[in-house]
Structure 1
């Protein structure tokens, strides 16, 4: 179906909006609204393009994917995370949603990956070089990119999510041969800002190898704080890179922002593609330091 909306104002002027693939969900989903491609002269009010920006306004004006509300049936609240949304509304499809974790003072937007195993909140996604991950501390703390595309959700938002519930972290990896691997960690959480959002993960499962909990103290990153080019919290006082290049900060060689040790078995936020002096995104226990063409990090409440 195509939906057409015709509008008239008090001056006799008119405008219209058309949406392809218009549909309503089942009653149990509160007849959630779904629309596809927009065309017209009135503007795309239902899908609100500004809602895609990670660093955009906290108010979410988009209505695509939401249930119908009346004075006696409030369906405008979407839950504390994507897992809760999927549990409450099983027919929910992947897309941008507003959530409000208990630990957060305000609601914020996230991309929910909805599957047969529940709803996952995407905290990192990379598919290429269009969105630069060479960002400073403030950007990594608050988030950047586009929720429906490549982005980093933000350390503060990730922490709010992990403070409210027990979380499982899933890391999905792709290489240039289209091979895939994954790593899952139970009990994922981030520490307080004063600890530089140190990462903590529990039991590992998967096919990519346990890069974060590597038993080698030089490579293991569990319990380490987050570092960026302007905020050095790694364990590298004087480290040696290949060809005997000495450096003092992991971000000098590995780029981006990550929970570096000295410097560690993983960094999914390095420059893309590989530069002459900085490593591209890698997960050492799967492909060594070979280029990963795409990565995604998601969390799901238990």
Structure 2
């Protein structure tokens, strides 16, 4: 069936079905194929169907050449749909380009590329973004707001709040409401998440685990003492990841950096490799339950020099009065922030 379809393609220029994509033979540029600089990969001794399938499964592949005699396949990073300006002579290979069909509400533009919407990415808008960073990098102009994402290891999509600036940020924790969401929660609540997306929230350890699984993401922490643009402190932790629930969602990262003169200081390095703890699941390395003492869930060791999920009542110029307050010893001392957030980017 595939052979018949592709033989007819050269005569009638119909759409030739190869795997799940549609391809068309370009009859307006006979005897021409894409120039060498557009060939990304050469595969030998394959069928035309496998050549097309490989192009289908690679978002960067826009077209392919196939030589039925030598069974050679060229995968191309660009395409020419009739101008012939990107092509050169070749009498042995046949050029096929994708007939673009934008999926999930995507819009086919005049340059034959899809403009995706609603958090979808890919050459045909065929899948949801894996995190907000990927959505930002896709270049579709996604703004701040709620989106469904699907990390590679997650079985189903889930909703997050994205801040689409500075490379795209997936919000993990936000403490900004006048009446702060209580953060002294159970293991199940910290695992699954709580609060309101876009308001005070904790995204959930299981979701964080899937987003971080590649081990190449960055954890950012930011606090503000006043609600003004330049009054902030920030710290970043690179190659951040978590182990799975069975292992206690242990925290890993390779190194930390502050943001210039706005550096927040590093209070997490002593907690590397520690499991997460809550009042009903004590995984810390202390004789006491640090989550009970600090009134929050976190990656406690014995216990910690910080408490980012501690009590935060958003009073300006407030000082720490107990271990259950939000605090970050290095380098904020006993100052308590007015607004706080954590994100992955």
TM-score band, normalised by the shorter chain?
Answer: 0.5 to 0.7
Give the superposition deviation at 1:287: 1.5
User: What whole-Å deviation, never above 9, does each CA across 1:142-170 have from its counterpart, x for those lacking one?
Assistant: 00011111100000000011113511111
Contact 1:29 1:89 (8 Å CA) reproduced: no
Decide whether aligned partners of structure 1 residues 76 and 256 sit closer, same or farther in structure 2, where only a CA change above 3 A counts: farther
CA RMSD of aligned residues (A): 2.7
3-state DSSP of counterpart to 1:130: coil
User: How far apart, in 2, do the equivalents of 1:290 and 1:199 lie?
Assistant: 25
Give the 4+ runs in structure 1 shifted more than 6 A: none
User: Paired residue for 2:308, among 250, 262, 268?
Assistant: 268
User: How far apart, in 2, do the equivalents of 1:177 and 1:66 lie?
Assistant: 30
User: How far apart, in 2, do the equivalents of 1:256 and 1:29 lie?
Assistant: 45
Residues 78-117 of structure 1: matches in 2 within 5 Å?
78-115=128-165, 117=166
User: What whole-Å deviation, never above 9, does each CA across 1:177-220 have from its counterpart, x for those lacking one?
Assistant: 8531100111100112122101111111110111101xxxxxx1
Q: TM-score by structure 1 length?
A: 0.67
Aligned residues: 224
User: How far apart, in 2, do the equivalents of 1:26 and 1:283 lie?
Assistant: 49
Q: Say if 2:207 is the partner of 1:157.
A: yes
Q: Say if 2:188 is the partner of 1:122.
A: no
Residue matched to 1:138: 188
3-state DSSP of counterpart to 1:253: helix
User: How far apart, in 2, do the equivalents of 1:159 and 1:152 lie?
Assistant: 13
Residue matched to 2:329: 284
3-state DSSP of counterpart to 1:252: helix
User: What whole-Å deviation, never above 9, does each CA across 1:102-128 have from its counterpart, x for those lacking one?
Assistant: 11111100111111x311111111114
User: What whole-Å deviation, never above 9, does each CA across 1:3-58 have from its counterpart, x for those lacking one?
Assistant: xxxxxxxxxxxxxxxxxxxxxx99678375xxxxxxxxxxxxxxxxxxxxxxxxxx
Q: Which is further off, 204-213 or 175-184?
A: 175-184
3-state DSSP of counterpart to 2:188: helix
Residue matched to 1:40: none
Gaps of 5+ in 1: 1-24, 33-64, 68-72, 214-219, 238-247
User: How far apart, in 2, do the equivalents of 1:191 and 1:66 lie?
Assistant: 27
Residue matched to 1:258: 298
Residue matched to 2:44: none
Gaps of 5+ in 2: 1-106, 314-318
Residue matched to 1:196: 248
Q: Say if 2:267 is the partner of 1:211.
A: yes
3-state DSSP of counterpart to 2:168: strand
Which one has the largest radius of gyration? 2
